[in-house]
Amino acid sequence: MRRLPPLRSLEAFVRIAKLGSAKAAASELALSPPALSRRIKALEDFMGKPVFDRKAQAMVLNADGQALLLAIEPALEAMADAIDDLSGQGGEYRLRLGVLPLFGTQRLIPRLPELRKLFPKLHIDVDTSAHAENLLGDVVDAAIIIADQVDPRLYSVRLDRNNVYAITSHDLATSAKLGTPADLKNQTVLVHSDMPLIFDAWRNAVGQPKLKPAAIDHIDSGPLMLEAAANGLGVAIMHGSHLTDAKDDRLTRLFDVEVESPYSYWFVCRPRALKQRAVRIFHDWLVKSEI
């Protein structure tokens, strides 16, 4: 058998290539930056050529790196599939699922007992990393993401359509006398970091395209956005279902206007992942359940 480079080096290479960041890859692999660099050096020493161009703090795939990624990624996925099949021989199936925290707490976890009753041998490992679509085939088998559009190379199912609400605390709504959208000019607006288009869509739809609030604060967590709004730290521009599902008496919706969101929740995976029993079981249940 021909000699191969260390599997750990290949894993580190693929993580950096997929995540686009050595720092993010080191975090995913629970490695220090020097340890990650050693793994990449071992791969490059084995190949006798660099696979990344080093630019300041960034590592960018060069032509040889692109060719290597295209060549080994299918083989690594096939290896992962084989291990999954073997590990399921005893009747237990495991799904590695990427889920955003707010969807997980509000919509998925409360319904999982239903799935457990139907398929008691199915076990789910949950990863709440952002941009889980970039981890498909590596860290996770499938993911539930929120996006305005999905990479056409992925298999995807839209899980909902939503309206955008302006959400804040009862106390702030009363004390600041927030009666019309124009009144937000003196308020802090809270926007999710992964949904940058949502505030523009909302203010255009309510007839205030030039509305400039006192500040716009970005938060990368839906639960934290709701908590910030409940504590009067600003007005959250987010999906109405998040308010409804929160069932938080501290929160209220401002302004009786319907604004369609440019974002939806999607189930995504690589097309070949649907051949995995755990992915197929979860996919079919999720779509049928209309969570």
219-237, pLDDT tens digit by residue? Answer: 999 999 999 999 999 999 9
Average pLDDT score over residue span 60-80: 86
Instruction: Name the residue ranges covered by the structural domains of the chain.
Output: 7-84, 92-160+264-289, 164-254
CA distance 82 to 72: 15
State the pLDDT at residue 193: 92
**Fold held by 164-254:** D-Maltodextrin-Binding Protein; domain 2 (3.40.190)
Backbone angles phi, psi at 196, to 5 degrees: -65, -20
**Do the beta carbons of residue 110 and residue 98 sit within 8 Å?**
no
Collapsed DSSP state (helix, strand, coil) of residue 146: strand
CATH superfamily ID and name for 92-160+264-289? Periplasmic binding protein-like II (3.40.190.10)
Over residues 127-158, the pLDDT tens digits come to 998 889 988 988 899 999 999 999 999 999 99
- Beta-ladder partners of 180: none
State percent of the chain over pLDDT 90.
66
**Is pLDDT above 90 for 86?**
no
Average pLDDT score over residue span 246-265: 94
State the pLDDT at residue 23: 84
Collapsed DSSP state (helix, strand, coil) of residue 167: strand
Average pLDDT score over residue span 24-37: 83
CATH of domain 7-84: 1.10.10.10
State the pLDDT at residue 249: 95
State the pLDDT at residue 179: 92
